[in-house]
Structure 1
């Protein structure tokens, strides 16, 4: 496996520099300096991608034909779209999805080489081989006194997270999403609203190619919003005091719920416009792009629904973690001060005396071993612990905005009543379907289709269902082999009639079942 380069550095000047007397100073004010710092951080986030093309010459083989930065962007895209709220993307699946992109750049090369390139790019984005598996950039800013101050910017593009069963998943960071959409430290809410407004305008103007790019950017912002909430909940599970649940997080949750409600309404309207554009488009390319847009916006709606569920569960999770951490038993023993209690006293000692201390420490410092059998004290504590309250009412659910479903039925209530009158036949006087169709045609030109539909449905009557429901009459249709002679319909000229069910037998059956 290839090893990633050491941490990156953008600037290599001295640590501080004071401007000479009389020399012009940089642009005053923190806003100008912050804008410069944002651009430097944006440049630093793209440096690992450019470094891939610079380092591919060091690989054993001819890899100059591959555009490593393109493969890296595709890897970031795949991990971002495959990761969920609780899990991430599987590395092997990401490599498998990267193979077509790599193979397209060098189709004559073997598959083993394509897989090696994909894994090398993915390992470089994770920064395998470094201590903290992250990147570091150094940039300069100007303090309030005008002095040039160096600052370090640590970031990651793709990080490995543990999963169930010892599996390792990949998740992209905010910096990776910002690299993907071409921005840095952008406010998630405003960026999401702007992206979807832009998407709606592009769809209304028929620019589906640009609308697809805007829809993908809106989806990346949705993933970033969910990632912010996930990190807040993870910090709460570790230490509830490290997160401001008094003002910051409740305000963020309320703002996020309003945001999800607005985005859901907005995206449903966009989805309606896209479907209309897809159905009305005559150009095959426009129809294909519209179909892809439908899938992207539906995925955005799914992610917003999942985000809303997590937001509603955030309050109960905080209360449960607060109870768990507040009433957790204190540690039975205090930690060992390695410097004051071990290193400082041992260093002046000769080796013959120091090895007795070090041997005893390392023999007992290898960690505890889990016992094979449960202790009686553990069993008693487990049985006497009161059960946790599992039911959480949570926050009040917002009232949904219900949209009336348009009545797109083919037949009206008047036609249904007229068809019922025609098919309300005496039990001893069945009729041919052709005669019923002629009577229906004299009433309403569209009524014969409803009569024919009801007659065909009566060809297999549900006698058992009608018997259990207590119906006294049942419509039936029988085919005796006579062909239909009609200008609009063909097939068998059914005999349509009404059968009387045994009401006394039904009453006796119901009484026996009740007893």
Structure 2
């Protein structure tokens, strides 16, 4: 007999199954890094798919153009508006032309539009991207998850214009972080900016200032989406604790940033005035513009934060007293009466009992209290007449007949439009024939033909109609002295009688 090994297994026993390595494999940090890679995948995919374009597009660095486009859209975003797509394309042209100066300008514009459309993901249904990654659960099981995100999205502005706005994922691609707390990232970026300015490293300070501005844009975007969600449904946002805390923290954050950015602005101006190197002066001047833009964005964000509370109260009042959404009523004739008429009385009574038991609203019983019960029992009955009270004599007024068309004209129009199913006619021919009969008849024919352009097929089907008048526009203009528009093809369609009978049977079942 073989002695067991120190590990507790015999030499011929299979090794124990390998378990996932603890630590990073089961950590949320791995999922964060996978999502970070997913956000950059559409940019790398542009350079892969440019070989499929018809033309010499290999010389263009599509990922570089995409990053520049995201940068332009982010810096052009305002609280209510975004970037105009044509302006973004126009500002991308110099960068694209520098990559291929010998190529025509038409090709440069085509590349810019192709990159922007792919960042919006125009070809997809929801205009978003999806990545699949895996995570380990507490028990070591491996689960695949979908990560849906967008880089640039089209948003309708207050005046109906369509603007481009970058998402949080796009800003994270620019800054080089993912799911970073906005407030802490903003403070860290501005402290880093101040240190770099004090040390005279203006080139690195400009990069830090741009990152701080991106975080400011992301903070405003978070507030804007919260207010948009509030306008749609106040119940979808926690205005009891989460949003008030967010507004208070944001206002404190802005007050701190004002003091910090003004101090930074003073240091930059001093560095700009004291610098001898022209390159340092240029960097300092650019830094002044960036920090001024940050101050402007913080001022705008502060005004929106102060308006958030009144907006919530106004939306709460508006949505609380809004008219309820219209609902489609039951077609009593087509869905209940018509299917019941051919049935025996016993089967029909069973269906009507079930319908009225569920179709009528619940009747809450009266609250029985001892005081009410005592009052009802001791109240003497009111004497009534045997035949009830005398009804007042109604005053009947004849309704004037203000219809334009008579019954005879309607009958004549119905006869003209009773066409064979295999012989449709043009509207121009029907108008000419109606004009020969009566001068007012063509107006009625035109109204009936226009109504038949969108025939109520479902209603006619439920009500058991055998024939249905329809009109189709094939693009032929109408040649008539009194009417304009399209020369419709007017015809009669036969409805499926077997299908209607099956539908009635299914309704009654």
Asked if Structure 1 and Structure 2 have the same fold, meaning a TM-score greater than 0.5 normalized by the shorter chain, the answer is yes
1:141 is matched with 135
Measure, in 2, the Cα distance between the counterparts of 1:94 and 1:336.
52
Tell me if 1:300 matches 2:401: no
Matched residue, 2:21: 26
Q: Distance in 2 between matches of 1:154 and 1:277?
A: 45
Which residue number in structure 2 is paired with residue 156 of structure 1? 150
Q: Tell me: CA distance 1:28–1:199, structure 2 relative to 1, closer, same or farther (3 Å).
A: closer
Q: 1:327 to 1:201 in 2, by over 3 A?
A: same
Which residue does 2:471 correspond to in 1? none
Alignment partners' CA distance in 2, 1:336 and 1:217: 59
Instruction: Return the match for 2:282 from 281, 288, 291.
Output: 288
Partners of 2:246 and 2:209 in 1: CA distance? 24
CA root-mean-square deviation: 2.3
What pairs with 1:322-333 in structure 2 (closer than 5 Å)?
322-333=316-327
- Deviation, structure 1 residue 357: 3.1
Q: CA deviation at 1:22?
A: 3.0
Q: Deviations over 1:51-94 (max 9, x none)?
A: 00000000010000000000000000000000100011000000
Give 3-state SS (helix, strand or coil) of 2:27's partner. Answer: helix
- Compute the displacement of 1:163 (Å): 2.2
Q: Distance in 1 between matches of 2:74 and 2:305?
A: 20
Q: How far does residue 27 in structure 1 lie from its aligned partner after superposition?
A: 1.6
Matches within 5 A, 1:201-216: 201-216=195-210
Residue 357 (structure 1) aligned with residue 458 (structure 2)? yes
* 1:113-124 equivalences in 2 (<5 Å): 113-124=107-118
Structure 1 CA distance for aligned equivalents of residues 170 and 136 of structure 2 = 27
Displacement, 1:144? Answer: 1.6
Distance apart, 1:21 and its partner CA: 4.9
Length, aligned pairs only: 328
Aligned partners of 2:330 and 2:65: how far apart in 1?
48
Which 10-residue stretch deviates more, 324-333 or 239-248? 324-333
Residue 194 (1) aligns with residue 188 (2): yes
SS class of match (1:166) = coil
Segment drifting more, 165-174 vs 114-123 = 165-174
In structure 2, relative to structure 1, the CA distance for the partners of 1:234 and 1:283 (3 Å cut) is same
Q: 2:53 aligns with which of 45, 54, 59?
A: 59
User: C-alpha deviations, 1:388-444, integer Å up to 9, x for none?
Assistant: xxxxxxxxxxxxxxxxxxxxxxxxxxxxxxxxxxxxxxxxxxxxxxxxxxxxxxxxx
Q: 2:221 — aligned with what?
A: 227
Distance 1:48 1:252 in 2: 32
Query: Runs of 5+ in structure 2 lacking a partner?
Result: 1-14, 340-455, 463-467, 469-509
Please give the TM-score of this superposition, normalised by the length of structure 1.
Answer: 0.61
Cα distance in structure 1, aligned partners of 2:154 and 2:330:
31
Task: Name the CA shift for 1:241/1:283 in 2 (closer, same or farther; >3 Å).
Answer: same
Q: 1:49 to 1:110 in 2, by over 3 A?
A: same
Tell me: CA distance 1:359–1:63, structure 2 relative to 1, closer, same or farther (3 Å). Answer: farther
Deviations 1:183-210 (A, max 9, x none): 1000000000000000000000000000
- Deviation of 1:313 (Å): 0.3
Q: By how many angstroms is 1:330 displaced?
A: 2.3
Distance change in 2, residues 1:334/1:359 (3 Å): closer
TM-aligned CA deviation for residue 108 of structure 1 = 1.1
The 1:310–1:335 alpha-carbon spacing in structure 2 relative to 1, beyond 3 Å, is farther
Q: Is the 8 A contact 2:134 2:144 kept in 1?
A: yes
Alignment deviations for residues 151-196 of structure 1 (CA, whole Å, 9 cap, x no partner): 0000000000112443211000000000001110000000000000
Structure 1 residues 262 and 277, CA gap change in structure 2 (3 angstroms): same
Task: Give CA-to-partner distance per residue, 1:98-117, whole Å, 9 cap, x none.
Answer: 00010010111111010000
Deviation at 1:332, TM superposition (A): 4.4
Cα drift, residue 359 of structure 1: 6.5
- Secondary structure of 2:147's aligned partner: strand
- The aligned residue for residue 268 of structure 2 is 274
Q: How does 1:47-446 map to 2 (within 5 A)?
A: 47-333=41-327, 357=458
Q: Per-residue CA shift, 1:464-489, capped at 9, x if unaligned? A: xxxxxxxxxxxxxxxxxxxxxxxxxx
Q: 1 CA distance for matches of 2:460 and 2:145?
A: 43
Rate the CA distance shift 1:313–1:174 in 2: closer, same or farther, 3 A. Answer: same
Question: Aligned partners of 1:335 and 1:39: how far apart in 2?
Answer: 52
* Cα pair distance change 1:360/1:241, threshold 3 Å: farther
For 2:189, what is the secondary structure of its paired residue?
Answer: helix
Q: Deviations over 1:327-355 (max 9, x none)?
A: 11323435899xxx9xxx9xxxxxxxxx9
* Distance in 1 of aligned mates of 2:191 and 2:185: 10
Separation in 2, partners of 1:327, 1:182: 46
Residues 437-463 of structure 1: CA deviation (Å, up to 9, x unaligned): xxxxxxxxxxxxxxxxxxxxxxxxxxx
